[in-house]
Structure 1
Amino acid sequence: MSYYFLAQIKINDEAEYQKYIDKSDAIFRKYKGEYLAVDNEPELLEGKWKYTRAVLIKFESHKDFKAWYDSDEYREILAHRLKAANCDSILVKGF
């Protein structure tokens, strides 16, 4: 069963956020993460949007997601994202 990590991100410090971006791709691939969407201008259909980016990443299993999210490599770069941006993230279970 696939799992989908959805992050809504409001970037406040582009330079600090870039430190996260520079290393994130290799770490996602290592843990079987696959970008499905990265959008800096998503179309708002309902409600209010206070973010500057939406990101959707697919993982083949909950185990793969947890291995990525809890890894030392990801925790190291996560600090840059959390310092540079306000983020709301959820994990969605697929069918």
Structure 2
Amino acid sequence: MGQKSKAYAIAYLRNVRMGDAIVEYLERIDETLAPYDGHFIVHGAAPERIEGDWDGAPIVIEFPDYDHLKDWYESPDYREILPLRTENSDGVVIFVEGVDRSHRATDVLTG
């Protein structure tokens, strides 16, 4: 049986209203990620816009696989702090499964 692909929670946050709620969210999120082996791979860096419109902050959290990602997002600990972010920022969050290093662009034509 093959190894599961890593999975990613990707957020594009805009209009983050910095205040006590966002600070609390930031102080607590890492402890919610730890049991699911999730960790930030993009967070806080100012992006360089190359094409199109972009006025937000990119965030990428990596997990060992899609099950770990879903279990984290649905966990009681994360659900408890989620409103601290959603009520104090605008944005989009997606979940996506990664590909391994052998992936080639044309692989999507046969998948």
TM-score (norm 2): 0.78
Structure with the bigger percentage of strand: 1
Shift of 1:92: 1.8
Unaligned runs of 5+ in 2: 100-111
Equivalents in 1 of 2:91, 2:33: separation in Å? Answer: 18
Change (3 A) 1:64 1:23: same
With CA pairs under 8 Å and 6+ residues apart, which has the higher RCO, 1 or 2? 1
Q: 1:8 to 1:77 in 2, by over 3 A?
A: same
- TM-score with structure 1 setting the length: 0.90
Identity across aligned pairs (percent)?
28
Runs of 4+ in 1 over 4 A off after TM superposition: none
Name the larger-Rg structure.
2
Counterparts of 2:47 and 2:20, CA distance in 1: 22
SS, match of residue 56 in structure 1: strand
Letter in 2 for 1:55: I
For the residue of structure 2 that corresponds to 1:88, the secondary structure is strand
Q: Which consecutive unaligned segments of at least 5 residues does structure 1 have?
A: none
Number of corresponding residues:
94
Find the counterpart in structure 2 of residue 58 from structure 1: 62
